[in-house]
Structure 1
Amino acid sequence: MTAVPDPTVAGCEAGDALLRPVRLGNAFEDTVGRLLQTIRLGVLAPGESLPPERELAARLGVSRDTVREAIKSLAEAGYLVSRRGRYGGTFLAQPLPAHPGPGERVTREEIDDALRLREILEVGGARMAAARTLTAVERETLWSRLSDVRDAAGEDYRRLDSRLHLAIAEAAGAPSLVPLVAENRMRLNALLDRIPLLRQNLTHSDEQHQAIVIAILAGDADAAAEAMRAHVAGSSALLHGFLD
């Protein structure tokens, strides 16, 4: 007789440590990251079930809608399977998606280096752009680049996302910043290309992009910097969740 997976498996000490409250500014991305940690660190094994949505929401300090969207996204990425019926629930896929081979793997230190450099460059760039008196052309360019990425098809998203971030760097008024941001974006895009595009994350990114651009156009340097910092943190949660 096949044993029914124990739905309380994540109640162990390791599960308690991983399934802790997330940062609400990036609730979806952090929820995906925490669930991936429990999967990839072996706290849950292929075929075992996640705790119920209600329990996950309570542990992570997020809404059930956020948990549901995270589970849906990880199911689309091949990590989870939902089943109905008496023994239904959400289970880890068997087998789990293959990770890059040893020669292709990136270390946590490499991911952190790219992300920390991004925070230094782009948070500062957003602050400087908001502190300047932008020309009409610069303002129009920012709004146009924002509209482009907001309307982007999936296959064009990374490219148009990069164009928006480069436009923000240009608006900072320090020409030498642009090639630095461009080089960093190349590194980041190489990492992002290793993980699936999650629709809910793209929706959240678009909201963050708008907050950044509006703060820059309004001349609110602190708000622009904080919005960019939150945006960088969202990418960090997903990259570490999928690639660590």
Structure 2
Amino acid sequence: MTASKASIDREKIKGIFSSQTVQKIGTGTTVRRTISKMYWQAEELESGDIQIQALNTNYIPSGPKSTVTKEEFLSKYSPEPEFYVSTVYPKIKELNSTIQRGEKARQAGATYSAEFEFQQAVGVDEDNVKANFGLGLTYMERGENHKANDIFERLVKLDAAFEPEHKHLFNEFGINLRKTGMQDQAIDYYSKALEMTSRDENLHYNMARAYYEKGELSNCIDHLEKALEINTEHAEAKKFLEYAKKMQESQPAS
């Protein structure tokens, strides 16, 4: 087998790993060394670098992700397959079950049961995207916009909320912000999304709707035109643009 073939066949690094740091406590004759151990979820990227994410105190991968070189990773991190099987996997499975119960309750209109389940999930992993989306949608469905706004402020700080795997929840959340009259929040929300992917005609279309409902026709028209630059066949954007321009023409000159 050639070296290139071996490199293709080699499984990529993925799993739970640990790192250790040695700290000195005290001074002089009272100094002592303590070893601090941290657990990480790691995954090898196409570039060959390793993406790592720390486990929180509940042993759930949470918070920001960072990247280290493979050389650094292999020298500082040790595999923990038994710890994954005995501790991490059951915790993740339990968290996912809690979120699923919350989603079922919300879809059934049982908003207080949904809130309980999503709160439980957020208590285990405060950065969990699905749990935060579910909690925010639950509050909006109950008309508790002040609580929904707290969740909105948390979500716009989480880059993971705007990743493709969460597209369905992301869209539903943005639409509900607008429908519940939270136009400024909807605009901030879609603006954050556009920072991450500007070539999305539906984001521009949704932004246009939020601006229209705020009465800002020029911004509405601007985003509709951007949507049509990306997708000239966007039927709703075409109709909306025609209507918005007529509305703008009918307005008295300032």
* Structure (1 or 2) with the greater strand fraction: 2
Given the two structures, how large is their TM-score scaled by the length of structure 2? 0.22
TM-score computed with the length of structure 1 as normaliser = 0.23
